């Protein structure tokens, strides 16, 4: 992501994009680097990092290194960011991908891997500014997110972000059968949501 000229929509800049980083009020979302692999391996194998509604992927360091080297985490259609506090503490990951069958639809998945950092609004903040990036920088017509039917905190977050519940879908999560809700935010609703106004994007 190269920095492009931006015009302020309000008096205070709260989001900037520089190279492969997105800076928000309290966070930075940045491209994953080789030095991050040890931590990502720990998170991948730690049930606490995945919470109650996701099953650990349990990837090895070699598997994660292969993914980094292959470039699949950073393409035109798919980007995975490490979420860090502004002072540099990593707390999770967030990614988006463009649906192959529908180039106008982007899907976001977020994980706050440090349990002590949950409930502080960091996940909401990361999602909000990635949504701003997708609608303002890419030709996206809608953004979708899925969450477990029992994950009430994320459902409240998505409603706050302007998403609408579209349907419930069964899915397999590492051989665990779950039911999830699919939420969708269209461009028209995004443009009408006050929380997305008055930002650089």
pLDDT at residue 14, rounded to an integer: 55
CATH, residue 130 = 3.40.630.30
The answer to whether residue 2 sits within a structural domain is no
pLDDT at residue 80, rounded to an integer: 98
The answer to whether residue 143 sits within a structural domain is yes
Query: Residue 134: enclosing H or E segment and its boundaries?
Result: helix 122-137
Please measure the distance between the N-terminal and C-terminal CA atoms of the chain and give it in whole angstroms.
12
Residues 59-90: pLDDT tens digits?
999 999 999 999 999 999 999 999 999 999 99
pLDDT at residue 15, rounded to an integer: 64
Q: What is the C-alpha separation between 105 and 49, in angstroms, rounded?
A: 28
pLDDT at residue 113, rounded to an integer: 98
Q: What is the C-alpha separation between 113 and 117, in angstroms, rounded?
A: 8
- Nearest 5°: phi and psi at 165? -70, 130
pLDDT at residue 19, rounded to an integer: 79
Strands in 102-112's sheet, in edge-to-edge order, are: 16-18, 21-23, 27-31, 78-85, 90-99, 102-112, 142-148, 176-186, 164-173
The answer to whether residue 48 sits within a structural domain is yes
The answer to whether residue 9 sits within a structural domain is no
Q: CB of 155 within 8 A of CB of 181?
A: yes
Q: Which domain holds residue 50?
A: 16-196
| Run means of pLDDT, 10 residues per run, the chain, 201 residues | 35 62 95 98 98 94 98 95 97 97 97 97 96 93 97 96 96 87 97 82 41
pLDDT at residue 13, rounded to an integer: 44
pLDDT at residue 7, rounded to an integer: 31
Q: How many domains does the chain have?
A: 1
pTM confidence score:
0.89
The answer to whether residue 126 sits within a structural domain is yes
The answer to whether residue 96 sits within a structural domain is yes
The answer to whether residue 85 sits within a structural domain is yes
């Amino acid at each position: 992501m190269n920095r492009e000229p931006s015009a302020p929509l309000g008096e205070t800049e709260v989001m900037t994009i520089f190279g492969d980083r997105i800076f928000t009020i309290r966070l930075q979302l940045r491209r994953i680097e080789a030095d991050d692999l040890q931590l990502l391996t720990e998170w991948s194998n730690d049930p606490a990092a995945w919470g109650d509604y996701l099953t650990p992927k349990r990837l090895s360091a070699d598997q994660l290194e292969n993914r980094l080297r292959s470039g699949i985490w950073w393409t035109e259609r798919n980007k995975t960011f490490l979420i860090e506090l502004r002072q540099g503490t990593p707390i999770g990951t967030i990614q988006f991908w463009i649906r192959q069958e529908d180039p106008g639809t982007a899907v976001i998945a977020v994980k706050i891997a440090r349990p002590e950092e949950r409930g502080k609004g960091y996940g909401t903040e990361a999602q909000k500014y990635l949504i701003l990036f997708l609608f303002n920088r890419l030709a996206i017509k809608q953004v979708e997110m899925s969450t477990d039917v029992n994950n009430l905190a994320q459902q409240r977050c998505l409603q706050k972000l302007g998403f609408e519940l579209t349907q419930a879908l069964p899915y397999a999560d590492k051989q665990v059968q779950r039911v999830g809700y699919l939420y969708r935010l269209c461009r028209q609703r995004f443009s009408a949501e006050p929380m997305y106004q008055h930002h650089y994007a």
